[in-house]
Amino acid sequence: MPSNYSISRILNVDDNDGARYAKSRVLKHAGFDVIEAANGEDALRLAAGVLPNLILLDVKLPDINGFEVCRRLKGDPTTQAILILQTSASFLGIPDKIKALDGGADNYLFEPIEPEELIANVRALLRLGKVERELRDVDRRKDEFLATLAHELRNPLAPIRNALELMRLLDPVVPEKQEKARQIIQRHTDHLVRLVDDLLDISRISQGKINLVNERVALKNFIGNACELSAPIVKSRNHIFTLDIPEEPIWIDGDSVRLTQIVANLLHNAAKFTPVGGAISPTAYQLESNLVICVSDNGIGISEDSLGGIFELFAQVGHAQDRVQDGLGIGLSLVKNLVKMHRGEVCVSSEGLGKGCVFKVQLPLAAA
């Protein structure tokens, strides 16, 4: 028997002594470490205390039915990664199997179960669990790497900025070529700062380290700040910029800095992917109990098959011909996460390549 199965611990939950004994005997003979529970409460207690690799869970239990036990296990961060193979002593029907799978069970078997079928299902689920653990470990290492990379990149940026400011203070009047070189350093340093800040925010969100400072925020304030932040790139690319927001005050319960960041990232994205001299039109309006913010442009657009993945981390769809670099594909993923943290939604639409696109953010209004 392969060693990776023999060290796996299985919690066998069944109130029928004979059925529980038969299944435990089969599993032990196959080399598994088996512990038992005869009711739902004991199953929940043992699962949290022992953290078995897999739970063989009968549906009919004397206190809590197996569907509810499964739901609680999958809803608890401590036990949600445990694999659950749900069983039933009688054929309850396909709706029950669907109910079990929708409730979080990883598979469902009807008894009587042949020993070979039981062992084959357990082994298959354990293989699946091993792959999931490896993927989670890779994802965790990725988050740690991003956080470390962002911090290491950020460390030299402050001295570079300070040195540039010191040069301007010590020698404010310089030849045109020298001033042009300083502006290039300034522009690319600012670009790098923005990339590093986005990278840091993504790593913080993935590790649950971002906390919103919620307050009543006026639409005019945070959208005005966002326009101010994106003004340099809009001006440098000679875009036609048209802002259309209501005159009357509209209020949001949220983090002013993060709301500004959401809109600024959308404006910055529109500016990057709209050719020089193009048009960018941010608008806002109230729709029932929500605030809707739209950022429209007549840029390179998005193909239909790319719309679904535009908000994924590191997604790169399309490339502006006059841009040497279009970023790391972080900004829109950050927008999606921050909007979600504000209990809102974000979506994008485009009529196709070369036809521009519209990003729409919907946020709940502040309570009256």
pLDDT above 90 coverage of the chain, percent: 46
Pairing of strands 251-255, 345-349: unpaired
CB 298 within 8 A of CB 278: yes
Q: Cβ distance 282 to 294 under 8 Å?
A: yes
Instruction: Show the tokens assigned to 299.
Output: 């840029």
The tens digit of pLDDT for each residue in 230-239 reads 998 899 899 9
pLDDT tens string 56-87: 999 889 998 888 999 999 989 899 889 999 88
Read off the pLDDT band of 333 (50, 70, 90): confident
Average pLDDT, the chain: 86
Write the pLDDT tens digit of every residue in 165-192: 898 888 888 899 998 898 888 888 887 8
- Write down the pLDDT at residue 1: 37
- Which position has the token pair 């950022």? 295
Of the candidates 320, 314, 306, the residue with the CA atom closest to the CA atom of residue 348: 306
More confident residue, 125 or 149: 125
* CA dihedral over 364, 365, 366, 368, signed as positive or negative: negative
Number of H helices, E strands in the chain: 11, 12
pLDDT score at 313? 67
Task: Decide if pLDDT at 17 tops 80.
Answer: yes
Pair 196, 157: CB distance under 8 Å: yes
